[in-house]
């Protein structure tokens, strides 16, 4: 298959669930230049690129000198990189074969859109993002964790740990693949039209004539955990709703807010968020840190 003649791939990666991957996906799917991805809804393909790297390393480490490859470190390194790049080409070919002929509603789409709501442990691919595109969605740690606790029953320390680790993965991904576009859930809420234009500009395709405020957004309700819900973007992006969310501080108690502040604000700052001065007493801060270290230690022991 000639990869130059096939659609490019746009990966949408949410740092965690509740960051708007469905929303961004639906915005892009209003164009005739984007393809319907069909049966694989939340693909998580980039979450497992590390497996390809591991396989390449194992093959290179067991390479026999009779197979015309020296055991010098530089040769093993080159062999590993070459294998991983070819593995990723195979994954890209799989994506095209899986979706292009059977699942794309658009005629000759420019992009196939795949999404994953989880940046947990994603490592930068060697090849996939050089020819394709990647949109990363972020969110303020307080609002994100509060929403996940209310909707999915997340545990506080576990959610904080995932936020920190997902932030590290995103920073590494941006450092290695500087062509990625990072957009925040807050921008989607407060500047919906401008954010939609930014998404389309990134893919270099024209913005369709569509009222994005009327778009039906899919997700889960904080009060109806087992039901799939839809609502219009207008209900989220209205000035009244934005102000209500800001004043209510979304479902989080004072102690929970302090825990998230102490643990996740450094990660949030690395994503470009700004925060006011924290007034948590030192003894409380030390207690939070000690409890979190114990949580991470126990979790590591459990694997």
pLDDT value at position 27?
93
Beta strand 111-116 with 8-14 is parallel
Mean pLDDT of 295-302: 85
The predicted-structure confidence for 46-63, as pLDDT tens digits, reads as follows: 888 888 888 888 887 777
pLDDT exceeds cutoff 90 at 273: yes
Whole-angstrom distance, CA of residue 251 vs CA of residue 239: 19
Q: Residue 181 forms beta bridges with which residues? A: 135
82-88: long-range pairs with CB below 8 Å, 24+: 83/55, 83/56, 83/59, 84/52, 84/53, 84/56, 84/126, 84/127, 85/126, 85/127, 87/52, 87/55, 87/56, 88/49, 88/52, 88/125, 88/126, 88/127, 88/128
Helices (H), 12-155: 21-28, 49-61, 73-99, 128-131, 141-152
DSSP string, 145-190: HHHHHHHH---HHHHHHHHHHHHHHHHHHHHH-TT-EEEEHHHHHH
Residue 253 is predicted with a pLDDT of 84
Alpha-carbon distance of 127 to 54, in angstroms, equals: 15
pLDDT for position 224 = 54
pLDDT at 146: 92
Position with higher pLDDT, 235 vs 69: 235
pLDDT tens for 60-116 read 777 766 665 555 555 667 778 888 888 888 888 888 877 655 556 666 788 988 888
State the pLDDT at residue 189. 92
User: If one looks up domain 3-249 in CATH, what number appears?
Assistant: 3.40.50
pLDDT digits (tens, 9 = 90+) for 199-211: 999 999 999 998 8
The mean pLDDT of 131-152, rounded to a whole number, is 91
- Is there a contact between 219 and 229 (Cβ–Cβ < 8 Å)? yes
The single-letter DSSP state of residue 26 is: H
**Residue 232 confidence (pLDDT) above 90:** no
* DSSP letter string, 250-290: TT--HHHHHHHHHHHHHHHHHTT---PPP---HHHHHHHHH
Q: What is the DSSP letter of 29?
A: T
What pLDDT, on the 0 to 100 scale, is given for residue 284? 84
Percentage, residues of the chain above pLDDT 70:
82
């Amino acid at each position: 298959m000639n990869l130059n003649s096939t659609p490019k791939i746009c990966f949408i990666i949410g740092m965690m669930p509740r960051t708007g991957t469905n929303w961004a996906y639906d915005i892009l799917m209003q164009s005739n230049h984007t393809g319907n991805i069909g049966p694989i809804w939340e693909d998580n393909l980039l979450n497992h690129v590390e497996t390809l790297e591991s396989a390449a390393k194992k093959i290179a480490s067991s390479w026999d000198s009779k197979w015309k490859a020296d055991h010098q470190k530089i040769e093993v390194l080159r062999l590993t990189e070459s294998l991983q790049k070819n593995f990723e080409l195979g994954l890209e070919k799989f994506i095209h074969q899986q979706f292009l002929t059977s699942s794309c509603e658009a005629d000759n789409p420019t992009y196939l859109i795949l999404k994953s709501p989880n940046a947990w442990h994603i490592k930068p691919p060697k090849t996939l993002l050089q020819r394709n595109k990647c949109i990363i969605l972020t969110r303020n740690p307080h609002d994100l964790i509060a929403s996940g606790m209310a909707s999915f029953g997340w545990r506080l320390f576990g959610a904080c740990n995932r936020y920190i680790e997902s932030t590290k993965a995103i920073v590494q991904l941006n450092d290695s693949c500087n062509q990625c576009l990072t957009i925040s859930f807050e921008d989607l809420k407060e500047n919906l039209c401008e954010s939609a234009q930014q998404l389309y500009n990134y893919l270099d395709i024209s913005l369709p004539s569509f009222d994005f405020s009327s778009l039906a957004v899919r997700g889960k309700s904080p009060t109806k955990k087992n039901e799939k819900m839809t609502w219009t973007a207008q209900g989220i992006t209205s000035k009244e709703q934005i102000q209500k969310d800001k004043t209510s501080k979304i479902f989080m108690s004072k102690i929970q807010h302090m825990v998230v502040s102490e643990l996740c604000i450094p990660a949030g700052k690395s994503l470009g968020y700004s925060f006011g001065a924290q007034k948590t007493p030192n003894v409380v801060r030390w207690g939070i840190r000690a409890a979190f270290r114990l949580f991470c230690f126990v979790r590591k022991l459990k694997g």
